[in-house]
Structure 1
Amino acid sequence: MEENLKDQKDSLDDLKRKLYSRNKDILNRGKIRQKINPSKYVIKDQWGLKPKEETIISSSWQKNLEMNMKKSSSVSIFKKIFIFAFIFFILALGFAVIKFFGNSNDISTSNVGINILGSTFAEGGEEVNLQIEIENRNNTPLELSDLLIEYPKGSGSAEFERIRKSIGTIESGQTANESVKVILLGEQGSSKEVKVTLEFRIHGSNAVFQKEKSYPIVISSSPISLSIEAPEKTTSNQEITLKIITTLNTQKPTPNIRFKVEYPAGFQFESSTPDPFSGNNLWDLGDLSPGVERTIVIKGKLLGQSGDERSFRIYSGAKDFNDQSAIKVVYNSLLHTIAIERPFIEINLFMNGVNEDEYNLPSQTDTTINVEWVNNLPTKIDNVELDISLTGNALDKHSVKTLNGFYDSSENKISWNKNTSPIFSSIEPGERGSVNFNFSSLSLLANNQSPIENPEIFLEASIKGQQLSQGIISQEINSLKKKVIRINSDLQIVAKGYYYSGPLTNTGPIPPKAGEKTTYTIIWTLANSSNKVSGAMAKTTLPLYVSWLGNVSSSSEDITYNELTREIIWKIGTVEKGTGFSGPTKEIAFQVELLPSVSQIGSTPQLVSETILTGEDTFTKASLKDTRSSINTNLYNDIGGSGNDKVVE
């Protein structure tokens, strides 16, 4: 054992001597370099190694040393890159901190604060005081600063009220204060935004910077309140009434208030109180005082199918002086919807076979009214009563006649019930029926009195009955229908021929002679009874053997002759009511010349053809027409004209 340890120590000493020797030959002497094959050699864990094994260990150690040096070099490169990136990050962070906290001249709108102080609720039309604070947290002053305040003029208005205030320079760290008063208008509960904009510049720059902030304010009450009293349901073609009430809520009078209603499709305007300022849907209410109510009552009819809904849109506000049909600023608005329902028991009136709400008739015309009804309910209707009311200044009460009904002249009413007709005891579901009656209108010039002004006859039909539900009377069913008959004015023309009489002097032989000229005077006289007539015109035609001389009795009248059509036309224009009756007549005379032929000997030649008068009744809107027969040489209206009418040789 001791001997082995000694051998190992000698070997180590020998190896140490060789390693630290400066003589290279000691290491290489007698040695031949060989390629190392690690798979063939295994290093023992004991020292006692042979020389060959020592050589293998030395070569392997050198190789491992080289590999470790390469790895060390690679790790060093990555380490340098990491250190460089870390230093760059630290420098960038430092620069950002310096820029943010340092004394920089850069500007930012985020460093401009706008605070708005004031009430978030306001009464419509009343002044609202707002305090505006502007804080400059930038390191540079804000120069040429302007404050712009914008807010809507009215409810739903696209126009804005604008207030601009000059603030000047706001130094760094300084807070500027401004106060402004605004008046907001709108419906109660609506929200309005006041927009505040700060415009400013900075030294050395022409750019304009802006900072905006909005401040919502809720309208606690509208300056003008609107309310409506109107039905929510109706049947088609039934008259409805809309009562609209306008009240000023502010403490100060509001001038130049205009009121507008937009009617739905199918609405027929009939009347209003007061009358509209323009058309049928615009009213000027003038100046409103606090607490004072203005009421507008509108009457009309809604036409539509069962299940339809019709909406009325109502607006109030300041009138537009540039547009007489518009509201410039809307203060308040209102929407009211009416549903159209099918009537439980339907009734219709046919006047001479025509189902119209308004009907025009000549005076003293016999009229037949047919009343039809139908039960639209799924149950029968008992104890039915049908009443027809007849009123109006043109009704001839003595002419009313009916079958199976009773006419009460003191009440101006015709009635049918189960006592007058058994059919009205009970009407089954879907059952139809009808009754009729007759009447005529008065003469518009009765008893030589003044003409009846705006002659009308009103018919109002109502039908009602009882609907049974499980043997108990649950409700009364009724329906109403109204009609109006307007009587046309009696527009008349009288056409006569003269030789001896009249405003014009005539010449030529009487009786007329073949081949010789004779002149005649034709006189047209107008009359009009009850209603004003517009666009009146009279015309006639001359035969080939009669000439127009151009002589007329009045140069102020518009009467002309057309040589191509041979028509004489008198453009009369307006004919006032009562003309020729209670007022003066309107007439014109003109002269024609007859040159008879031998073929006309023994005859009474025609001087003018039939005369036709037309015009429009401004009350009934009906087209009027009156015709008079032709005039010949038989002048039975002229003194001495009779018997001198036939052409002689």
Structure 2
Amino acid sequence: MALSEIKNKLYKKEADSNLSQHDKTEFDTEGITKGVSSEENKQEDQWVEEKKGFIEEQKKFIKIGAIILSVIFFIVAVGGIVYKIRQSAFSEKKVIISIEGKTDVESGKFITYEIKYKNDNRVDLKNASLRLNYPESLRPEVDPNLKAQGLDNSIAEIGDIKAHTEGKIILNSRIYSPKGTLLYLKAELLYTPSNFNSQFTSSNQLGINVTSTAMNMEITGPLNISNGDAVDYLITYKNNGIEEFGNVRVKLDYAEGFSFSSSEPKVSEGENIWHLGNLSPGEEGKIVISGKLEGEKDQIKKTKAELGTVSQGQFVSYNEETTETKIIRSPLSIIQVVNNNVEVRADAGGELFVEIQYGNTGELGLSNVIITEKIDSPMLDYSSLKLNRKGAFSEETKTITWKASDFPILANLEAGAGGKISFSIKLKNVFPIVTADDKNFSIPFLARIDSPDVPTPLEMNKIIAGNKVDVRVNSKLVVDAEGYYNDSVIGNSGPIPPTVGAETTYSIHWKVMNISNDVADAKVETILPTGVVYTGKKYPENSNLTYDERNNKLTWVIGDISSGMGILTAKREIVFQVKIVPASNQQNQPVALTGESVYSARDLFTGANLSAQVDAKDTRLREDSGIAGTGYKVIAN
């Protein structure tokens, strides 16, 4: 059918009711389905049924999945509820720790602190321990419940803390700190909740302010001095409390440029620590430290004094004070030299030659200049003082004074002018030793120069130039060697007089003394003459006596020796035995037993290497009264 015919049929007023009918073509379904068996049609119908079955299976899986998701959601919900309940059973905020006690304290006073802990949770706290941290100046009293872990912390093992319970630890202590010190006491509670495996920490701290100290102390010194001038520091102390303080000490931290000379009372350790012992309530005292201070113009020199005790090997301060001194320039200068040295060490009995050099370093002349030299020491022999007919010495003040009447230049010392003054004095041979404190002798030579023309600034001490030289006195070593045939310490044998070809033994006694300073590395040595043999016998048997057979050298190693040994305490002594077999060429002669004995040591105060000698010993033993006449001479066999 043509397209125009179809169109006419579609749009004409009376449409053909059998419009769908048309001539058969190759596209008719009848032709396509013709020849297909009914079985094939059934199979096609069965495929359609399988499609409907898959949809039902899918619905089944969806239903099962929904059930599984519901179960999972239920489990998660239950778990969340359980977790929420478990979490609510413990909260760190419900573990409370607090510290109760004074926040304003007095240094050295006994104080008590309560460290309280509280568990407001529904679960127990396992393996709880309380750790306390504090500065070293806080010293806990001994407590079996509180174990020290060091100088700044302790720990108390608490164990389990039940739910809704509380407890406390008592800390008894003393705080040793200067006034104005702020320190902190910190408490940490370490524990593991019973419903957790991890450890938790709760902490708190208390600030403590030291408002005062029962141990009062002051230090004073000059406001200003010229470079190299002498300086004295005065320390006063007092126990204002109602309790006794034990093992009290004063320690100084000197300003840079300070040289220690002496102190009253004498220093106990080094040059800056004094042991005061126990101080009862109301007890007081003072310390005067002398020395010289050097520095550049306008420098401020600060010296700090501390009053305290020693605890667990550490110095603990009760109180501390400082003083400041300003270095200024003086129009006058003065320097002194002793034995051509600025730093001098001297021996007992020695002579000291002192030269004073002075001058006007200002821009104006200075009138009526006076120079003084203070020489005050029990070690000086004032009868040996030589002034070369210039100046005057006062026995009362131990001071030499020179004026214009001695040196006319001092009447008007012009700018840039100067001069020299000299004198000499000897040391005593005998040391004034009565107690163990009589040691480390130092002789101060203090020279000063002044003029009324030198100004005195308001609120400042007068600018007087000075110079101080300290002569340290070496200790004196004394050694003695004695020989015996008749000896109760070590028995001897052989013929007396010594006989040719026969062996005779003798005992040698070494005795040593150390007078005024502690010494170290002390020893006595001698060389035995060839033919003299050390037998190996000695007393005490534990003495450190060594013998070198190749050079016949005997050495007694002593080590450290305290001052005053041989005066305040017994002499140190060793006895050893030697033997000789005289030869025929030694007949009618004494036989040498030892060479010269040399006693040496290092002075710990002056740093000098000291020595003393005693002559060689032979068979002429005058100290042995049992050897008479010519019993020391070798005779024929």
Instruction: State the TM-score, normalized to the length of structure 2.
Output: 0.58
Structure-2 change in CA distance of 1:123 and 1:491 (3 Å): closer
Structure-2 change in CA distance of 1:153 and 1:352 (3 Å): closer
Deviation sequence 1:538-558 (CA, Å, 0-9, x none): 52452xxx5115579986697
Aligned residue for 1:240?
232
**RMSD value, Cα:** 6.0
Aligned residue for 1:506?
497
SS of aligned partner of 1:349: strand
Q: Count residues in correspondence.
A: 508
1:221 counterpart = 2:221: no
Quote the Cα distance in structure 2 between the aligned partners of 1:195 and 1:584. 56
Quote the Cα distance in structure 1 between the aligned partners of 2:368 and 2:204. 72
Tell me, yes or no, if the aligned pair for 2:129 and 2:155 is still in contact at 8 Å: no
- How far did residue 421 of structure 1 move? 0.2
Say which of 539, 542, 545 aligns to 2:526. 539
Structure-2 change in CA distance of 1:352 and 1:432 (3 Å): same
Structure-2 change in CA distance of 1:626 and 1:273 (3 Å): closer
- How far did residue 402 of structure 1 move? 1.8
Structure-2 change in CA distance of 1:539 and 1:279 (3 Å): same
Aligned residue for 1:355?
342
1:326 counterpart = 2:314: yes
Aligned residue for 1:159?
152
- How far did residue 261 of structure 1 move? 2.5
Structure-2 change in CA distance of 1:617 and 1:504 (3 Å): farther
- How far did residue 366 of structure 1 move? 3.8
Aligned residue for 2:37?
none
Any residues of structure 2 matched to 1:362-511 within 5 Å, and which?
Answer: 362-363=348-349, 365-375=350-360, 377=362, 379-403=364-388, 405-408=390-393, 410-411=395-396, 412-429=398-415, 431-444=417-430, 459-468=445-454, 475=462, 477-484=464-471, 486=473, 489=476, 491=478, 505-508=496-499
Quote the Cα distance in structure 2 between the aligned partners of 1:430 and 1:541. 64
Quote the Cα distance in structure 2 between the aligned partners of 1:267 and 1:479. 14
User: Structure 1: which amino acid aligns with 2:253?
Assistant: Y
- How far did residue 407 of structure 1 move? 3.5
- How far did residue 634 of structure 1 move? 11
Aligned residue for 2:29?
none
Using CA pairs below 8 Å that are at least 6 residues apart, which structure has the higher relative contact order? 2
Structure-2 change in CA distance of 1:524 and 1:463 (3 Å): farther
Quote the Cα distance in structure 2 between the aligned partners of 1:389 and 1:159. 51
Quote the Cα distance in structure 2 between the aligned partners of 1:131 and 1:456. 56
- How far did residue 420 of structure 1 move? 0.7
- How far did residue 463 of structure 1 move? 2.6
User: Structure 2: which amino acid aligns with 1:424?
Assistant: L
SS of aligned partner of 1:547: coil
- How far did residue 436 of structure 1 move? 0.6
Deviation sequence 1:322-362 (CA, Å, 0-9, x none): xxx324xx464535354462663443332221222x52125
Tell me, yes or no, if the aligned pair for 2:446 and 2:468 is still in contact at 8 Å: yes
Aligned residue for 2:124?
143
User: Structure 2: which amino acid aligns with 1:263?
Assistant: D
Tell me, yes or no, if the aligned pair for 2:181 and 2:209 is still in contact at 8 Å: yes
Structure-2 change in CA distance of 1:471 and 1:115 (3 Å): closer
Tell me, yes or no, if the aligned pair for 2:217 and 2:321 is still in contact at 8 Å: no
SS of aligned partner of 2:405: coil
Structure-2 change in CA distance of 1:109 and 1:280 (3 Å): farther
Quote the Cα distance in structure 2 between the aligned partners of 1:240 and 1:596. 72
Quote the Cα distance in structure 2 between the aligned partners of 1:461 and 1:132. 66
1:122 counterpart = 2:104: yes
List runs of 5+ in structure 2 lacking aligned partners: 1-9, 14-79, 140-150, 432-437, 486-492
Structure-2 change in CA distance of 1:519 and 1:349 (3 Å): farther
Structure-2 change in CA distance of 1:227 and 1:442 (3 Å): closer
Any residues of structure 2 matched to 1:160-175 within 5 Å, and which?
Answer: 160=153, 168-170=162-164
SS of aligned partner of 1:389: strand
- How far did residue 120 of structure 1 move? 7.8
Deviation sequence 1:126-182 (CA, Å, 0-9, x none): 64677979796xxx73533869584525548861456677763239xxxx7979777
Quote the Cα distance in structure 1 between the aligned partners of 2:162 and 2:558. 75
Quote the Cα distance in structure 2 between the aligned partners of 1:464 and 1:310. 26
Structure-2 change in CA distance of 1:395 and 1:217 (3 Å): closer
Quote the Cα distance in structure 2 between the aligned partners of 1:178 and 1:585. 64
Quote the Cα distance in structure 2 between the aligned partners of 1:245 and 1:430. 46
Aligned residue for 1:261?
251
Quote the Cα distance in structure 2 between the aligned partners of 1:623 and 1:117. 60
Aligned residue for 1:69?
none
Any residues of structure 2 matched to 1:474-623 within 5 Å, and which?
Answer: 475=462, 477-484=464-471, 486=473, 489=476, 491=478, 505-508=496-499, 535=522, 537-542=524-529, 546-550=530-534, 562-567=548-553, 592-595=580-583, 607=592, 611-616=596-601, 622-623=608-609
SS of aligned partner of 1:463: strand
- How far did residue 418 of structure 1 move? 1.2
Quote the Cα distance in structure 1 between the aligned partners of 2:183 and 2:12. 107
Quote the Cα distance in structure 2 between the aligned partners of 1:280 and 1:456. 13
- How far did residue 122 of structure 1 move? 2.2
- How far did residue 371 of structure 1 move? 1.7
Structure-2 change in CA distance of 1:167 and 1:385 (3 Å): same
Structure-2 change in CA distance of 1:530 and 1:258 (3 Å): closer
Quote the Cα distance in structure 1 between the aligned partners of 2:415 and 2:102. 61
Aligned residue for 2:146?
none
- How far did residue 624 of structure 1 move? 4.1
Deviation sequence 1:298-338 (CA, Å, 0-9, x none): 62536653337454362635622xxxx324xx464535354
Quote the Cα distance in structure 1 between the aligned partners of 2:578 and 2:404. 67
Quote the Cα distance in structure 1 between the aligned partners of 2:531 and 2:425. 49
Tell me, yes or no, if the aligned pair for 2:213 and 2:319 is still in contact at 8 Å: no
User: Structure 2: which amino acid aligns with 1:613?
Assistant: V
Quote the Cα distance in structure 1 between the aligned partners of 2:268 and 2:629. 60
SS of aligned partner of 1:424: helix
Any residues of structure 2 matched to 1:627-646 within 5 Å, and which?
Answer: none
Tell me, yes or no, if the aligned pair for 2:261 and 2:442 is still in contact at 8 Å: no
Tell me, yes or no, if the aligned pair for 1:313 and 1:334 is still in contact at 8 Å: yes
Quote the Cα distance in structure 2 between the aligned partners of 1:487 and 1:109. 75
- How far did residue 435 of structure 1 move? 0.9
List runs of 5+ in structure 1 lacking aligned partners: 1-23, 28-98, 446-452, 510-515
Aligned residue for 1:49?
none
- How far did residue 525 of structure 1 move? 8.4
Instruction: State the TM-score, normalized to the length of structure 1.
Output: 0.58
Tell me, yes or no, if the aligned pair for 2:219 and 2:321 is still in contact at 8 Å: no
Say which of 308, 321, 327 aligns to 1:316. 308
SS of aligned partner of 2:410: helix
